Chain A
Amino acid sequence: MNSDEVRRVAALARLELSGSELEAMVRDLSRILEYVEQLSDAPDATIDEPALPLREDLPAASLATEAIERNAPSMFEGFFVVPPVLGGEE
Protein backbone atom coordinates (compact mmCIF):
# COMPACT_ATOMS: atom_id res chain seq x y z
CA MET A 1 0.00 0.00 0.00
CA ASN A 2 1.35 3.40 -0.93
CA SER A 3 0.15 6.83 0.16
CA ASP A 4 -1.97 7.32 -2.98
CA GLU A 5 -3.88 4.11 -2.30
CA VAL A 6 -4.34 5.07 1.33
CA ARG A 7 -5.72 8.47 0.25
CA ARG A 8 -8.15 6.76 -2.15
CA VAL A 9 -9.45 4.45 0.61
CA ALA A 10 -9.67 7.35 3.09
CA ALA A 11 -11.90 9.24 0.66
CA LEU A 12 -14.20 6.18 0.38
CA ALA A 13 -14.33 5.94 4.18
CA ARG A 14 -15.01 9.67 4.60
CA LEU A 15 -11.82 10.17 6.57
CA GLU A 16 -9.16 12.81 6.24
CA LEU A 17 -5.70 11.81 7.44
CA SER A 18 -3.03 14.26 8.56
CA GLY A 19 0.51 13.90 7.22
CA SER A 20 1.69 11.82 10.16
CA GLU A 21 -1.52 9.76 10.24
CA LEU A 22 -1.08 8.99 6.55
CA GLU A 23 2.48 7.85 7.08
CA ALA A 24 1.49 5.57 9.98
CA MET A 25 -1.49 4.23 8.02
CA VAL A 26 0.70 3.26 5.04
CA ARG A 27 3.06 1.45 7.39
CA ASP A 28 0.39 -0.32 9.51
CA LEU A 29 -1.91 -1.35 6.66
CA SER A 30 1.01 -2.68 4.64
CA ARG A 31 2.10 -4.81 7.56
CA ILE A 32 -1.40 -6.13 8.26
CA LEU A 33 -2.08 -6.89 4.58
CA GLU A 34 1.24 -8.68 4.33
CA TYR A 35 0.13 -10.87 7.23
CA VAL A 36 -3.27 -11.45 5.59
CA GLU A 37 -1.54 -12.68 2.42
CA GLN A 38 -1.25 -16.12 4.07
CA LEU A 39 -4.94 -16.53 3.21
CA SER A 40 -3.97 -17.22 -0.38
CA ASP A 41 -3.41 -20.82 0.66
CA ALA A 42 -6.82 -21.24 2.26
CA PRO A 43 -8.87 -24.01 0.67
CA ASP A 44 -12.06 -23.02 -1.10
CA ALA A 45 -15.35 -23.70 0.54
CA THR A 46 -18.69 -23.17 -1.07
CA ILE A 47 -20.62 -20.39 0.57
CA ASP A 48 -24.25 -21.26 0.80
CA GLU A 49 -25.44 -18.61 3.21
CA PRO A 50 -29.00 -18.94 4.43
CA ALA A 51 -30.71 -15.58 4.19
CA LEU A 52 -31.07 -13.93 7.58
CA PRO A 53 -34.68 -13.95 8.72
CA LEU A 54 -36.49 -10.65 8.81
CA ARG A 55 -39.16 -9.87 11.33
CA GLU A 56 -42.68 -9.22 10.25
CA ASP A 57 -43.33 -5.60 9.40
CA LEU A 58 -46.05 -4.75 11.88
CA PRO A 59 -47.05 -1.38 13.26
CA ALA A 60 -45.82 -0.93 16.85
CA ALA A 61 -44.93 1.85 19.24
CA SER A 62 -41.68 3.60 18.35
CA LEU A 63 -39.40 5.96 20.24
CA ALA A 64 -40.80 9.41 20.93
CA THR A 65 -39.45 12.17 18.65
CA GLU A 66 -38.26 14.09 21.72
CA ALA A 67 -36.05 11.16 22.72
CA ILE A 68 -34.34 11.31 19.32
CA GLU A 69 -34.19 15.11 19.36
CA ARG A 70 -32.28 15.19 22.65
CA ASN A 71 -29.28 13.51 21.02
CA ALA A 72 -29.36 15.26 17.66
CA PRO A 73 -26.69 17.88 16.91
CA SER A 74 -29.27 20.06 15.13
CA MET A 75 -33.02 19.71 14.57
CA PHE A 76 -35.77 21.97 13.30
CA GLU A 77 -39.48 21.13 13.51
CA GLY A 78 -38.84 17.42 13.70
CA PHE A 79 -36.19 17.31 10.94
CA PHE A 80 -32.44 16.80 11.18
CA VAL A 81 -30.62 19.92 10.00
CA VAL A 82 -27.44 19.42 7.94
CA PRO A 83 -25.13 21.76 6.02
CA PRO A 84 -26.05 22.35 2.34
CA VAL A 85 -25.93 19.19 0.24
CA LEU A 86 -25.42 21.20 -2.96
CA GLY A 87 -23.54 24.44 -3.41
CA GLY A 88 -21.32 24.15 -0.36
CA GLU A 89 -17.55 24.12 -0.66
CA GLU A 90 -16.28 20.70 -1.70
Chain B
Amino acid sequence: MTRSLAEVREALAKGESPEAIVRRSVDAIRAKDHDIGAFLHVADRAMDHGERRMNPPPLAGVADGGLRMNPQPLGGVAIAVKDNIVVAGLPATCGSRILDGYVPPDTATAVARLEAAGATVVGKTNLDEFAMGSSTEHSAFHPTRNPLDLERVPGGSSGGSAAAVAAGMVPIALGSDTGGSVRQPAAYCGVVGLKPTWGRVSRRGLIAFASSLDQIGIFARSAIDCAPVLAAMAGRDPLDSTSSDRPVDDYASLAGRGIDGRRFGVIAEALALLGSEERRGFDEALDAIRKKGGVVETVTVPLLTQAVAIYSIVANAEASANLARFDGVRYGERAGEGSLSSMYVTTRSRGFGAEVKRRIMLGTFALSAGYYEAYYGRAQRARRALAAQLAKALASVDMLVTPTTPGPAFRLGEKLADPLDMYLTDLFTVPANLAGLPAIAIPFGHAENGMPLSVQLMGRAWEEASLIACAEEIETRQKAEGRRQK
Protein backbone atom coordinates (compact mmCIF):
# COMPACT_ATOMS: atom_id res chain seq x y z
CA MET B 1 0.00 0.00 0.00
CA THR B 2 1.26 3.44 -0.90
CA ARG B 3 -0.24 6.30 1.02
CA SER B 4 1.58 9.28 -0.37
CA LEU B 5 3.46 10.40 -3.43
CA ALA B 6 6.66 10.33 -1.36
CA GLU B 7 6.09 6.61 -0.76
CA VAL B 8 5.47 6.09 -4.47
CA ARG B 9 8.72 7.88 -5.32
CA GLU B 10 10.57 5.85 -2.70
CA ALA B 11 9.24 2.61 -4.18
CA LEU B 12 10.22 3.71 -7.69
CA ALA B 13 13.70 4.62 -6.42
CA LYS B 14 14.04 1.11 -5.00
CA GLY B 15 13.40 -0.21 -8.48
CA GLU B 16 9.77 -1.24 -8.14
CA SER B 17 7.84 -0.90 -11.38
CA PRO B 18 4.93 1.56 -11.63
CA GLU B 19 2.70 -1.44 -12.40
CA ALA B 20 3.73 -3.23 -9.20
CA ILE B 21 3.11 -0.12 -7.10
CA VAL B 22 -0.35 0.37 -8.60
CA ARG B 23 -1.10 -3.30 -8.04
CA ARG B 24 -0.47 -2.80 -4.32
CA SER B 25 -3.24 -0.21 -4.29
CA VAL B 26 -5.59 -2.64 -6.00
CA ASP B 27 -4.66 -5.28 -3.39
CA ALA B 28 -5.33 -2.79 -0.60
CA ILE B 29 -8.78 -2.06 -2.05
CA ARG B 30 -9.57 -5.78 -2.22
CA ALA B 31 -8.40 -6.27 1.37
CA LYS B 32 -10.09 -3.28 2.98
CA ASP B 33 -13.04 -2.09 1.01
CA HIS B 34 -15.44 -4.79 2.13
CA ASP B 35 -15.96 -2.98 5.44
CA ILE B 36 -15.80 0.56 4.08
CA GLY B 37 -17.62 0.52 0.75
CA ALA B 38 -15.59 3.32 -0.80
CA PHE B 39 -15.77 1.89 -4.30
CA LEU B 40 -18.68 1.27 -6.65
CA HIS B 41 -16.43 -0.29 -9.23
CA VAL B 42 -12.88 -1.57 -8.96
CA ALA B 43 -11.21 -1.81 -12.32
CA ASP B 44 -11.57 -5.58 -12.03
CA ARG B 45 -9.19 -6.52 -14.67
CA ALA B 46 -7.38 -3.58 -13.17
CA MET B 47 -4.06 -4.67 -14.43
CA ASP B 48 -5.09 -5.21 -18.06
CA HIS B 49 -6.94 -2.03 -17.80
CA GLY B 50 -4.09 -0.35 -15.99
CA GLU B 51 -1.44 -1.58 -18.36
CA ARG B 52 -3.44 -0.43 -21.32
CA ARG B 53 -3.99 2.88 -19.59
CA MET B 54 -0.35 3.21 -18.60
CA ASN B 55 0.58 3.85 -22.19
CA PRO B 56 -2.19 6.18 -23.24
CA PRO B 57 -2.04 7.82 -26.64
CA PRO B 58 -0.38 11.24 -26.67
CA LEU B 59 -2.84 13.92 -25.69
CA ALA B 60 -3.05 17.25 -27.46
CA GLY B 61 -2.41 20.19 -25.21
CA VAL B 62 -0.87 18.25 -22.39
CA ALA B 63 2.43 20.02 -22.74
CA ASP B 64 0.66 23.15 -21.50
CA GLY B 65 -0.14 21.35 -18.27
CA GLY B 66 3.44 21.70 -17.05
CA LEU B 67 4.49 18.21 -18.12
CA ARG B 68 7.20 19.13 -20.55
CA MET B 69 10.00 18.74 -18.01
CA ASN B 70 9.08 15.31 -16.76
CA PRO B 71 6.99 13.09 -18.97
CA GLN B 72 5.72 10.84 -16.14
CA PRO B 73 5.48 12.88 -12.93
CA LEU B 74 2.68 10.62 -11.66
CA GLY B 75 4.13 7.25 -12.68
CA GLY B 76 3.08 4.53 -10.23
CA VAL B 77 0.31 6.70 -8.75
CA ALA B 78 -3.01 4.88 -8.36
CA ILE B 79 -5.99 7.20 -8.41
CA ALA B 80 -9.60 6.63 -7.45
CA VAL B 81 -12.17 8.64 -9.38
CA LYS B 82 -15.58 9.74 -8.12
CA ASP B 83 -18.28 7.98 -10.10
CA ASN B 84 -19.67 11.20 -11.59
CA ILE B 85 -16.44 11.70 -13.57
CA VAL B 86 -16.26 9.62 -16.72
CA VAL B 87 -13.48 7.20 -17.57
CA ALA B 88 -13.85 5.37 -20.88
CA GLY B 89 -14.73 1.72 -20.39
CA LEU B 90 -15.55 1.99 -16.69
CA PRO B 91 -19.15 2.46 -15.48
CA ALA B 92 -20.28 5.94 -14.44
CA THR B 93 -23.42 5.68 -12.35
CA CYS B 94 -23.32 8.96 -10.40
CA GLY B 95 -24.54 6.75 -7.55
CA SER B 96 -27.92 6.60 -9.28
CA ARG B 97 -30.16 3.80 -10.56
CA ILE B 98 -30.97 5.97 -13.54
CA LEU B 99 -27.42 5.48 -14.89
CA ASP B 100 -27.04 1.86 -13.83
CA GLY B 101 -25.29 0.07 -16.66
CA TYR B 102 -24.02 3.21 -18.38
CA VAL B 103 -20.48 2.86 -19.67
CA PRO B 104 -19.16 6.15 -21.04
CA PRO B 105 -17.32 6.09 -24.36
CA ASP B 106 -14.93 8.88 -23.37
CA THR B 107 -12.66 10.04 -20.54
CA ALA B 108 -12.89 13.32 -18.65
CA THR B 109 -10.15 15.78 -19.60
CA ALA B 110 -8.87 15.97 -16.00
CA VAL B 111 -8.50 12.18 -15.82
CA ALA B 112 -6.98 11.93 -19.31
CA ARG B 113 -4.33 14.48 -18.27
CA LEU B 114 -3.51 12.53 -15.10
CA GLU B 115 -3.20 9.35 -17.15
CA ALA B 116 -0.94 11.12 -19.60
CA ALA B 117 1.18 12.13 -16.58
CA GLY B 118 1.51 8.46 -15.61
CA ALA B 119 -1.32 7.93 -13.12
CA THR B 120 -3.54 4.83 -13.27
CA VAL B 121 -7.27 4.79 -12.51
CA VAL B 122 -7.97 1.83 -10.21
CA GLY B 123 -11.66 2.35 -9.60
CA LYS B 124 -14.74 4.53 -9.32
CA THR B 125 -15.86 5.73 -5.92
CA ASN B 126 -19.18 6.00 -4.17
CA LEU B 127 -21.06 9.28 -3.80
CA ASP B 128 -24.38 10.71 -2.83
CA GLU B 129 -26.61 10.33 -5.88
CA PHE B 130 -25.56 12.95 -8.46
CA ALA B 131 -23.28 14.45 -5.78
CA MET B 132 -26.32 15.68 -3.85
CA GLY B 133 -25.64 15.11 -0.19
CA SER B 134 -23.14 15.43 2.61
CA SER B 135 -22.80 11.89 3.95
CA THR B 136 -22.70 9.43 1.00
CA GLU B 137 -25.81 7.84 2.52
CA HIS B 138 -27.81 9.01 -0.50
CA SER B 139 -25.96 6.63 -2.85
CA ALA B 140 -28.51 4.38 -4.55
CA PHE B 141 -26.14 1.44 -4.07
CA HIS B 142 -24.75 1.43 -0.52
CA PRO B 143 -23.50 3.92 2.04
CA THR B 144 -19.74 4.39 2.54
CA ARG B 145 -18.38 4.17 6.08
CA ASN B 146 -15.74 6.37 7.65
CA PRO B 147 -12.49 4.34 7.87
CA LEU B 148 -11.68 6.03 11.21
CA ASP B 149 -14.97 4.89 12.78
CA LEU B 150 -17.19 2.55 10.80
CA GLU B 151 -20.31 3.77 12.62
CA ARG B 152 -19.80 7.27 11.25
CA VAL B 153 -20.27 8.77 7.80
CA PRO B 154 -17.27 9.75 5.66
CA GLY B 155 -19.03 12.97 4.67
CA GLY B 156 -20.07 13.67 1.14
CA SER B 157 -20.81 13.83 -1.53
CA SER B 158 -17.33 12.55 -2.46
CA GLY B 159 -17.32 10.20 0.56
CA GLY B 160 -15.94 7.22 -1.36
CA SER B 161 -12.90 9.15 -2.58
CA ALA B 162 -12.21 10.58 0.89
CA ALA B 163 -12.50 7.13 2.49
CA ALA B 164 -10.27 5.52 -0.14
CA VAL B 165 -7.45 7.96 0.64
CA ALA B 166 -8.02 7.91 4.41
CA ALA B 167 -7.89 4.10 4.48
CA GLY B 168 -4.62 4.10 2.53
CA MET B 169 -6.15 2.35 -0.46
CA VAL B 170 -4.90 5.00 -2.89
CA PRO B 171 -2.58 8.00 -2.47
CA ILE B 172 -4.76 10.31 -4.60
CA ALA B 173 -8.46 10.50 -5.40
CA LEU B 174 -10.58 12.87 -7.43
CA GLY B 175 -13.89 14.28 -6.28
CA SER B 176 -16.19 17.07 -7.35
CA ASP B 177 -16.93 20.05 -5.13
CA THR B 178 -20.16 21.96 -5.73
CA GLY B 179 -20.73 23.18 -2.16
CA GLY B 180 -18.01 21.44 -0.19
CA SER B 181 -18.22 17.90 -1.55
CA VAL B 182 -14.43 17.53 -1.53
CA ARG B 183 -13.54 19.60 1.56
CA GLN B 184 -16.28 18.36 3.92
CA PRO B 185 -15.52 14.63 3.43
CA ALA B 186 -11.78 15.40 3.58
CA ALA B 187 -12.45 16.98 6.99
CA TYR B 188 -14.54 14.06 8.23
CA CYS B 189 -11.94 11.50 7.12
CA GLY B 190 -8.83 13.40 8.25
CA VAL B 191 -7.26 13.97 4.83
CA VAL B 192 -6.46 17.02 2.70
CA GLY B 193 -9.07 18.22 0.20
CA LEU B 194 -8.41 20.92 -2.42
CA LYS B 195 -11.08 22.71 -4.44
CA PRO B 196 -9.40 24.76 -7.16
CA THR B 197 -10.69 28.07 -8.54
CA TRP B 198 -13.74 27.66 -10.78
CA GLY B 199 -12.34 27.37 -14.32
CA ARG B 200 -8.90 26.10 -13.23
CA VAL B 201 -9.66 22.44 -14.07
CA SER B 202 -11.74 21.40 -17.06
CA ARG B 203 -15.20 20.09 -16.17
CA ARG B 204 -15.53 18.18 -19.41
CA GLY B 205 -16.53 14.66 -18.43
CA LEU B 206 -17.75 15.69 -14.98
CA ILE B 207 -21.47 14.91 -15.09
CA ALA B 208 -23.02 18.28 -14.27
CA PHE B 209 -24.84 19.04 -11.02
CA ALA B 210 -24.63 22.87 -10.80
CA SER B 211 -22.41 24.15 -13.58
CA SER B 212 -21.63 27.57 -12.10
CA LEU B 213 -20.38 25.92 -8.88
CA ASP B 214 -18.98 22.50 -9.87
CA GLN B 215 -15.22 22.02 -9.83
CA ILE B 216 -13.09 18.86 -9.81
CA GLY B 217 -10.99 18.62 -6.65
CA ILE B 218 -8.23 16.49 -5.14
CA PHE B 219 -7.95 14.27 -2.04
CA ALA B 220 -4.46 13.50 -0.72
CA ARG B 221 -2.66 12.60 2.49
CA SER B 222 -0.72 15.85 2.48
CA ALA B 223 -1.09 19.27 0.90
CA ILE B 224 2.11 19.00 -1.10
CA ASP B 225 0.76 15.88 -2.84
CA CYS B 226 -1.94 18.06 -4.39
CA ALA B 227 0.71 20.12 -6.24
CA PRO B 228 1.77 17.79 -9.07
CA VAL B 229 -1.79 16.49 -9.44
CA LEU B 230 -3.23 19.97 -9.89
CA ALA B 231 -0.36 20.95 -12.19
CA ALA B 232 -1.16 17.97 -14.41
CA MET B 233 -4.95 18.52 -14.48
CA ALA B 234 -5.20 22.30 -14.69
CA GLY B 235 -5.26 24.48 -17.76
CA ARG B 236 -7.30 25.41 -20.76
CA ASP B 237 -9.41 22.72 -22.38
CA PRO B 238 -10.96 23.68 -25.70
CA LEU B 239 -13.89 21.40 -24.88
CA ASP B 240 -14.81 23.32 -21.69
CA SER B 241 -15.32 26.91 -22.74
CA THR B 242 -15.38 27.99 -19.08
CA SER B 243 -11.88 26.63 -18.45
CA SER B 244 -9.32 29.40 -18.03
CA ASP B 245 -6.37 29.99 -20.31
CA ARG B 246 -4.36 31.54 -17.46
CA PRO B 247 -0.93 29.89 -17.27
CA VAL B 248 -0.74 27.02 -14.79
CA ASP B 249 1.58 27.59 -11.84
CA ASP B 250 4.32 25.19 -10.88
CA TYR B 251 2.59 24.51 -7.58
CA ALA B 252 5.33 22.31 -6.13
CA SER B 253 8.13 24.86 -6.55
CA LEU B 254 5.99 27.72 -5.22
CA ALA B 255 5.18 25.71 -2.12
CA GLY B 256 8.30 27.09 -0.46
CA ARG B 257 6.88 30.51 0.39
CA GLY B 258 4.40 29.91 3.15
CA ILE B 259 2.80 31.46 6.18
CA ASP B 260 5.54 33.84 7.39
CA GLY B 261 4.42 37.44 6.96
CA ARG B 262 1.09 36.60 5.38
CA ARG B 263 -2.20 37.91 6.73
CA PHE B 264 -5.01 35.52 7.61
CA GLY B 265 -8.59 36.70 8.06
CA VAL B 266 -10.82 34.95 10.58
CA ILE B 267 -14.45 35.44 9.60
CA ALA B 268 -16.20 36.81 12.68
CA GLU B 269 -19.60 35.41 11.62
CA ALA B 270 -18.08 31.91 11.41
CA LEU B 271 -16.55 32.12 14.88
CA ALA B 272 -19.92 33.02 16.35
CA LEU B 273 -21.37 29.74 15.11
CA LEU B 274 -18.80 27.40 16.67
CA GLY B 275 -19.39 25.14 19.64
CA SER B 276 -16.79 25.19 22.43
CA GLU B 277 -15.04 22.02 21.26
CA GLU B 278 -14.75 23.22 17.67
CA ARG B 279 -13.67 26.64 18.91
CA ARG B 280 -10.84 25.09 20.91
CA GLY B 281 -9.63 23.10 17.89
CA PHE B 282 -9.85 26.16 15.67
CA ASP B 283 -7.94 28.34 18.15
CA GLU B 284 -5.13 25.76 18.13
CA ALA B 285 -4.95 26.06 14.34
CA LEU B 286 -4.76 29.86 14.62
CA ASP B 287 -1.94 29.47 17.15
CA ALA B 288 -0.07 27.29 14.69
CA ILE B 289 -0.46 29.99 12.03
CA ARG B 290 0.82 32.68 14.43
CA LYS B 291 3.79 30.53 15.48
CA LYS B 292 4.77 30.21 11.83
CA GLY B 293 4.83 33.99 11.49
CA GLY B 294 1.33 34.56 10.14
CA VAL B 295 -0.71 37.59 11.14
CA VAL B 296 -4.24 36.70 12.21
CA GLU B 297 -6.94 39.37 11.90
CA THR B 298 -10.69 39.40 12.19
CA VAL B 299 -12.73 40.20 9.08
CA THR B 300 -16.44 40.40 8.58
CA VAL B 301 -18.54 38.64 5.92
CA PRO B 302 -22.11 39.28 7.07
CA LEU B 303 -23.74 37.21 4.30
CA LEU B 304 -21.84 34.07 5.40
CA THR B 305 -24.85 33.13 7.51
CA GLN B 306 -27.04 33.17 4.38
CA ALA B 307 -24.66 31.10 2.24
CA VAL B 308 -26.58 27.83 2.62
CA ALA B 309 -29.88 29.54 1.76
CA ILE B 310 -28.35 31.11 -1.36
CA TYR B 311 -26.77 27.81 -2.30
CA SER B 312 -29.99 25.82 -1.83
CA ILE B 313 -31.69 27.90 -4.50
CA VAL B 314 -28.82 28.48 -6.96
CA ALA B 315 -27.42 24.93 -6.90
CA ASN B 316 -30.78 23.22 -7.12
CA ALA B 317 -32.12 25.53 -9.83
CA GLU B 318 -29.11 24.58 -11.96
CA ALA B 319 -29.51 20.92 -11.00
CA SER B 320 -33.13 20.84 -12.08
CA ALA B 321 -32.05 22.03 -15.53
CA ASN B 322 -28.96 19.80 -15.76
CA LEU B 323 -30.85 16.67 -14.72
CA ALA B 324 -33.58 17.20 -17.32
CA ARG B 325 -31.37 15.20 -19.69
CA PHE B 326 -32.04 11.97 -17.78
CA ASP B 327 -35.22 11.01 -19.58
CA GLY B 328 -34.68 7.43 -20.77
CA VAL B 329 -34.05 8.38 -24.40
CA ARG B 330 -30.29 8.28 -24.96
CA TYR B 331 -28.73 6.41 -22.04
CA GLY B 332 -29.42 4.79 -18.72
CA GLU B 333 -32.44 2.90 -17.50
CA ARG B 334 -35.72 3.37 -19.36
CA ALA B 335 -39.03 2.53 -17.69
CA GLY B 336 -42.62 2.82 -18.84
CA GLU B 337 -44.12 2.78 -22.31
CA GLY B 338 -47.41 4.15 -23.62
CA SER B 339 -46.58 7.69 -24.60
CA LEU B 340 -43.32 9.58 -24.72
CA SER B 341 -44.29 11.78 -21.79
CA SER B 342 -45.36 8.87 -19.62
CA MET B 343 -42.04 7.17 -20.42
CA TYR B 344 -40.19 10.32 -19.24
CA VAL B 345 -42.19 10.46 -16.02
CA THR B 346 -41.88 6.76 -15.20
CA THR B 347 -38.16 6.66 -16.03
CA ARG B 348 -37.40 9.65 -13.83
CA SER B 349 -39.72 8.69 -10.97
CA ARG B 350 -38.21 5.21 -10.71
CA GLY B 351 -34.62 6.18 -11.52
CA PHE B 352 -34.05 9.09 -9.12
CA GLY B 353 -33.80 8.68 -5.34
CA ALA B 354 -35.54 10.78 -2.69
CA GLU B 355 -32.82 13.42 -2.24
CA VAL B 356 -32.41 14.01 -5.98
CA LYS B 357 -36.18 14.37 -6.37
CA ARG B 358 -36.25 16.84 -3.49
CA ARG B 359 -33.52 18.95 -5.13
CA ILE B 360 -35.11 18.82 -8.59
CA MET B 361 -38.43 19.87 -7.05
CA LEU B 362 -36.88 22.74 -5.10
CA GLY B 363 -34.98 23.96 -8.18
CA THR B 364 -37.96 23.62 -10.50
CA PHE B 365 -40.08 25.57 -8.02
CA ALA B 366 -37.46 28.33 -7.72
CA LEU B 367 -37.38 28.73 -11.51
CA SER B 368 -41.12 28.43 -12.12
CA ALA B 369 -43.31 31.27 -13.36
CA GLY B 370 -44.39 33.52 -10.52
CA TYR B 371 -41.58 32.44 -8.19
CA TYR B 372 -38.45 32.98 -10.31
CA GLU B 373 -37.76 36.53 -9.15
CA ALA B 374 -38.65 35.91 -5.53
CA TYR B 375 -36.34 32.91 -5.24
CA TYR B 376 -33.80 32.52 -8.05
CA GLY B 377 -33.41 36.24 -8.78
CA ARG B 378 -33.05 37.10 -5.13
CA ALA B 379 -30.58 34.26 -4.52
CA GLN B 380 -28.43 35.35 -7.47
CA ARG B 381 -28.28 38.92 -6.14
CA ALA B 382 -27.37 37.68 -2.69
CA ARG B 383 -24.71 35.47 -4.27
CA ARG B 384 -23.10 38.49 -5.96
CA ALA B 385 -23.25 40.43 -2.72
CA LEU B 386 -21.60 37.57 -0.82
CA ALA B 387 -18.88 37.31 -3.48
CA ALA B 388 -18.29 41.06 -3.15
CA GLN B 389 -17.98 40.76 0.64
CA LEU B 390 -15.45 37.93 0.25
CA ALA B 391 -13.49 39.95 -2.32
CA LYS B 392 -13.41 42.93 0.03
CA ALA B 393 -12.15 40.75 2.88
CA LEU B 394 -9.51 39.23 0.59
CA ALA B 395 -8.30 42.72 -0.34
CA SER B 396 -7.24 43.31 3.27
CA VAL B 397 -5.86 39.82 4.04
CA ASP B 398 -4.10 37.17 1.93
CA MET B 399 -6.51 34.38 2.74
CA LEU B 400 -9.48 33.54 4.91
CA VAL B 401 -9.40 30.86 7.56
CA THR B 402 -12.41 29.00 8.99
CA PRO B 403 -13.06 25.54 10.32
CA THR B 404 -13.90 23.33 7.32
CA THR B 405 -17.12 22.11 8.94
CA PRO B 406 -19.15 23.18 11.98
CA GLY B 407 -18.42 19.81 13.67
CA PRO B 408 -16.80 16.38 13.18
CA ALA B 409 -18.23 13.35 11.32
CA PHE B 410 -21.68 12.35 12.52
CA ARG B 411 -23.18 8.87 12.88
CA LEU B 412 -24.83 7.04 10.00
CA GLY B 413 -28.52 7.89 9.98
CA GLU B 414 -28.11 10.83 12.36
CA LYS B 415 -29.05 13.54 9.88
CA LEU B 416 -31.20 11.62 7.40
CA ALA B 417 -34.52 12.69 8.90
CA ASP B 418 -33.91 16.40 8.43
CA PRO B 419 -32.49 17.45 5.04
CA LEU B 420 -31.83 21.01 6.23
CA ASP B 421 -29.72 19.76 9.13
CA MET B 422 -27.62 17.88 6.55
CA TYR B 423 -27.29 20.95 4.28
CA LEU B 424 -25.96 23.06 7.16
CA THR B 425 -22.84 20.87 7.49
CA ASP B 426 -21.68 22.76 4.34
CA LEU B 427 -22.02 26.21 5.91
CA PHE B 428 -18.32 27.07 5.79
CA THR B 429 -17.59 25.42 2.44
CA VAL B 430 -20.34 26.80 0.15
CA PRO B 431 -19.03 30.41 0.11
CA ALA B 432 -15.95 29.39 -1.92
CA ASN B 433 -18.19 27.80 -4.56
CA LEU B 434 -20.61 30.72 -4.67
CA ALA B 435 -17.65 33.07 -5.28
CA GLY B 436 -15.60 30.66 -7.45
CA LEU B 437 -12.62 30.82 -5.07
CA PRO B 438 -10.04 28.13 -4.31
CA ALA B 439 -10.03 26.52 -0.85
CA ILE B 440 -8.21 23.73 0.93
CA ALA B 441 -9.20 21.60 3.93
CA ILE B 442 -6.36 20.54 6.24
CA PRO B 443 -6.75 18.05 9.12
CA PHE B 444 -6.01 19.78 12.41
CA GLY B 445 -6.62 18.27 15.84
CA HIS B 446 -9.34 15.95 17.02
CA ALA B 447 -12.73 16.26 18.66
CA GLU B 448 -13.33 14.67 22.07
CA ASN B 449 -14.87 11.64 20.33
CA GLY B 450 -11.56 11.10 18.54
CA MET B 451 -12.76 12.16 15.11
CA PRO B 452 -10.60 14.58 13.14
CA LEU B 453 -11.23 18.31 12.97
CA SER B 454 -10.16 20.37 9.99
CA VAL B 455 -9.27 23.92 9.12
CA GLN B 456 -10.05 25.57 5.79
CA LEU B 457 -8.01 28.17 3.94
CA MET B 458 -9.87 30.12 1.25
CA GLY B 459 -7.79 32.21 -1.12
CA ARG B 460 -8.05 34.68 -3.96
CA ALA B 461 -8.87 33.30 -7.38
CA TRP B 462 -5.95 31.41 -9.00
CA GLU B 463 -3.85 31.45 -5.79
CA GLU B 464 -3.86 27.70 -5.23
CA ALA B 465 -0.06 27.77 -4.83
CA SER B 466 -0.34 29.97 -1.71
CA LEU B 467 -3.02 27.71 -0.26
CA ILE B 468 -0.89 24.61 -0.78
CA ALA B 469 2.21 26.29 0.68
CA CYS B 470 0.42 27.50 3.81
CA ALA B 471 -1.49 24.24 4.24
CA GLU B 472 1.80 22.35 4.12
CA GLU B 473 3.22 24.48 6.94
CA ILE B 474 0.13 24.05 9.08
CA GLU B 475 0.50 20.28 8.66
CA THR B 476 4.18 20.38 9.56
CA ARG B 477 3.44 22.42 12.66
CA GLN B 478 0.77 19.97 13.69
CA LYS B 479 3.10 16.99 13.20
CA ALA B 480 5.84 18.72 15.17
CA GLU B 481 3.52 19.23 18.10
CA GLY B 482 2.55 15.58 17.98
CA ARG B 483 -0.81 14.47 16.78
CA ARG B 484 -3.25 13.47 19.48
CA GLN B 485 -4.18 9.97 18.47
CA LYS B 486 -7.58 8.50 18.94
Contact = CB atoms under 8 A, between A and B. Distances in A.
B303 interface: yes
Given A28-B358, A36-B309, A64-B105, 6 more contacts: A15-B360, A32-B420, A39-B309, A84-B339, A88-B339, A88-B340
A14 B348 contact: yes
B354 interface: yes
Dominant SS among interface residues on chain A: loop
Contacts of A21: 354, 357
B358 A90 contact: no
Contacts of A46: 384
B249 to A, nearest CB: 22
Q: Which 7 residue pairs of A and B lie closest in terms of their CB atoms, listed nearest first?
A: A88-B339, A67-B105, A42-B382, A73-B334, A45-B384, A45-B385, A71-B331
- Interface residues of B, dominant DSSP: helix
Contact of B105 (A52, A68, A84): A68
A6 B420 CA distance: 18
B358 A63 contact: no
Contacts of B324: 14
A2 B354 CA distance: 18
B375 interface: yes
B273 interface: no
Contacts, number: 158
B344 interface: yes
B103 A40 contact: no
Interface in B88-131: 101-106
Contacts of B308: 35
Interface residues of B, number: 63
Contacts of B388: 45
Interface of B: 101-106, 238-239, 241-242, 303, 305-306, 308-310, 312-313, 320, 324, 327-334, 337-346, 348-349, 352, 354, 357-358, 360-362, 364-365, 368, 375, 378-382, 384-385, 388, 418-420, 423
Contact of A72 (B330, B343, B348): B330
29 contacts: A1-B365, A9-B365, A13-B348, A14-B324, A14-B348, A29-B361, A32-B419, A32-B423, A35-B308, A35-B312, A36-B309, A38-B309, A40-B378, A42-B306, A43-B382, A52-B241, A68-B330, A71-B101, A71-B331, A71-B332, A72-B330, A80-B329, A82-B343, A83-B340, A83-B342, A84-B339, A85-B340, A88-B339, A89-B342
* Interface range for A: 35 or more
A9 B342 contact: no
A54 B241 contact: yes
Given A71-B102, A80-B330, A83-B338, A42 B385 contact: yes
Contacts of B378: 39-40, 42
B103 A70 contact: yes
A30 B408 CA distance: 28
A77 interface: no
A83 to B, nearest CB: 5
Interface string A1-41: 10001100110111111000100110011011101101110
Given A39-B379, A71-B330, A82-B329, A13 B364 contact: yes
A43 B385 contact: yes
Given A29-B365, A73-B332, A89 B339 contact: yes
Contacts of A88: 338-342
A13 B360 contact: yes
Nearest to B328: A73
